[in-house]
Amino acid sequence: MIHFKEKHKDAYDAIMNASTLGLHLVSGTFVGLAIGYWLDVWLDGRFHTKPWLTLAFLVIGIAAGFKNVYLDVRKIQRASEDEPKTRFAEKPVEKPEGKLEE
């Protein structure tokens, strides 16, 4: 079983990165929506802010989610640049023995 995990490590890393990106986008949106909703409920009696704080914090949450996705993509790109390129690297050409070079 360990051999299977080592063999498909790139696939597991890609799945984990994709799920992390999705979670960051969705969680930022829901946190912004929740904060805006509860501020509207709390301040509606005094300032009559019913839909506006919900909408404002929803937009802020969406922006925060996209910012998190952008930062994660940059981190993934930097990590992939640091990895050695072994998958599609050119193999060194071996010269056949016994032939003289000119």
Q: Give me the number of domains the chain comprises.
A: 1
Segment holding 31, helix H or strand E: helix 9-47
Residues spanned by the domain of 25: 21-80
Alpha-carbon distance values, 45 to 33, 39, 50, 69, 88 (Å): 19, 11, 9, 36, 64
The answer to whether residue 59 sits within a structural domain is yes
The answer to whether residue 26 sits within a structural domain is yes
Task: Give the C-alpha separation, 102 to 93, whole Å.
Answer: 17
- The string of pLDDT tens digits covering residues 48-90 is 988 999 999 999 999 999 999 999 999 999 988 887 665 555 5
Q: What is the pLDDT of residue 55?
A: 97
The answer to whether residue 47 sits within a structural domain is yes
Q: Closest Cα to residue 73, out of 17, 35, 4?
A: 17
